[in-house]
Chain A
Amino acid sequence: QKEVEQNSGPLSVPEGAIASLNCTYSDRGSQSFFWYRQYSGKSPELIMSIYSNGDKEDGRFTAQLNKASQYVSLLIRDSQPSDSATYLCAFPGRGYNKLIFGAGTRLAVHP
């Protein structure tokens, strides 16, 4: 079992819709989770951090964490073409010496 699983996509949504991105992880001891956005040819950019069960909202982004189910998701409301990118979920490895990244979900928002 991979440590982090994400659907590679592409996930295609129309402009204005809600995009839902999902991530499952194997380490039950994980306490913090991060969502990064990576545009083609660019480096990852942190968009959300979440540490406790439930929802965390920041503008059009909502991160949802369910530790019992080992599941973290990212919702993007009112999707825009500029949201088209690869979204990576990540959590600290044991020893906190690195982030373990999923392979990423490619999101395409079409006008």
Chain B
Amino acid sequence: GAGVSQSPSNKVTEKGKDVELRCDPISGHTALYWYRQRLGQGLEFLIYFQGNSAPDKSGLPSDRFSAERTGESVSTLTIQRTQQEDSAVYLCASSEGTGHQPQHFGDGTRLSIL
């Protein structure tokens, strides 16, 4: 079946602009995760959604970052007033549930802030 789909694949924007990144999880996957990976660095957890439960926002680096998900479908990650340090690849993953289920990643959105 289709994997995790992310759009856009690349985004170049000017400092101070807002950006919105989209993630479409694997059908039937109740859990959805956002990570950030800066160049040459490891994966940094941002936020987690599980069904209709309140999201775990503990990884969001500042209040400029927010994310939404409607039910068990598409999620959007919004970054307001972008800064150059926001430049990274933003990865979305989904899993069938939580606990011991492996996560499957999309191809990511490469965000570049000029």
Contact = CB atoms under 8 A, between A and B. Distances in A.
B59 A98 contact: yes
A43 B106 contact: yes
Given A97-B56, A98-B48, A102-B42, A42 B102 contact: no
Interface in B1-34: 33
> Which applies to chain A's interface (DSSP): helix, strand, loop or mixed?
loop
Interface string B54-96: 0010110000000000000000000000000000010101000
Q: What range describes how many residues of B lie at the interface?
A: 20 to 34
Contacts of B43: 44, 88, 99, 101
A34 B105 contact: no
B52 interface: no
Interface in A43-67: 43-46, 49, 51
B18 to A, nearest CB: 24
Contacts of B56: 95, 97-98
Nearest to A91: B100
A31 interface: yes
Contacts of A31: 100
A97 B89 CA distance: 20
Contacts of B99: 32, 92, 96
A44 B100 contact: no
Interface in A69-111: 88, 92-93, 95-104
Ordered nearest first, which 6 A-B pairs have the shortest CB separation?
A: A32-B100, A98-B45, A96-B98, A97-B48, A43-B105, A97-B56
Interface of B: 33, 35, 41-43, 45, 48, 50, 56, 58-59, 89, 91, 93, 98-100, 102-108
